[in-house]
Copies of this chain bind each other. A is one copy, B any other.
Amino acid sequence: MTRVHRPKDPTELSAAEWVRQQLIDDIVAGRLLPGEKLCEVKIAARLGCSRTPVREAFRHLGALGLAHFEKNRGGNVVRLERAIMLELFEALAEVSAACAGLAVARGEASRWTLAEREWSHAAVPAGTGSENDLFSILFNICGNRLLSEAGATIRCRLLPYWRLMGKAAEEWPVHGEAGQAEAIRAMVAGNGRAARRHMRAFVLMARDQALRSLPQSILP
């Protein structure tokens, strides 16, 4: 239990925001394991602050679905379950498809996607950090903040499963370059219906890939 201290004031984050980001990183990176108990005083001691910011961060984690809390009984990091993973993939497929359809409908797709996609192809897609992967571009051009935020949250919740497969979080939408290509082609061509269909199929393909590489013994 190495004590981590907040940097003096580089980005003007409040303690609560810093703790929140720290805990999110710990969860998606696997430093806080699924099912692990989250104790306010211990986390506060480890991060060198009082309980108050930790509480605030806990509530945020709960709202994001990364942890689960009960009244007077503390909380735990969410456990990884097959059924939840399926729901996450399913929801991501729907949201992504909707974003693709909306992007086409508002005519943004043909302009943006092509250029940015070439660029990202050269720069290697990245997951959470960079903003050049397929999903980030999609969420940016869809023009609906609610859908894009929902999608980003879902993708964040999927990262622990991705890690469980032994893959780095950065190479998240990696399989099926072909599937991606089809969706992008449809978007650029302005075919909304095809874009939705291909986008959904692409994510569901990733789901099936995840299912195959996570046997019952690893993911209950």
Which of A108-116, A130-138, A141-149 contacts its partner?
A141-149
Contact with B along A77-117 (1 / 0, CB 8 A): 00000000001101100110110011000000000000000
Which of A55-63, A167-175, A183-191, A206-214 contacts its partner?
A55-63
Smallest Cβ distance from A170 to chain B, in angstroms? Answer: 24
Instruction: Say whether A91 contacts B144, CB under 8 Å.
Output: yes
Copy total for this chain: 2
Smallest Cβ distance from A176 to chain B, in angstroms? Answer: 21
Smallest Cβ distance from A150 to chain B, in angstroms? Answer: 5
Instruction: Say whether B147 contacts A94, CB under 8 Å.
Output: yes
A194 at the interface (CB under 8 A from B): no
A146 contacts which of B55, B98, B146, B154 (Cβ < 8 Å)? B154
Smallest Cβ distance from A97 to chain B, in angstroms? Answer: 8
| Chain A, 148-176, CB within 8 A of any chain B CB | 150, 154
A59 contacts which of B60, B71, B154 (Cβ < 8 Å)? B60
Residues of B within 8 A of A87 (CB): 144-146
Smallest Cβ distance from A103 to chain B, in angstroms? Answer: 12
A21 at the interface (CB under 8 A from B): no
Q: A55-B56, A60-B63 are in contact. List 11 more A-B contacts (CB 8 A).
A: A56-B56, A59-B60, A65-B146, A87-B145, A88-B146, A91-B150, A94-B102, A94-B144, A94-B147, A98-B98, A146-B154
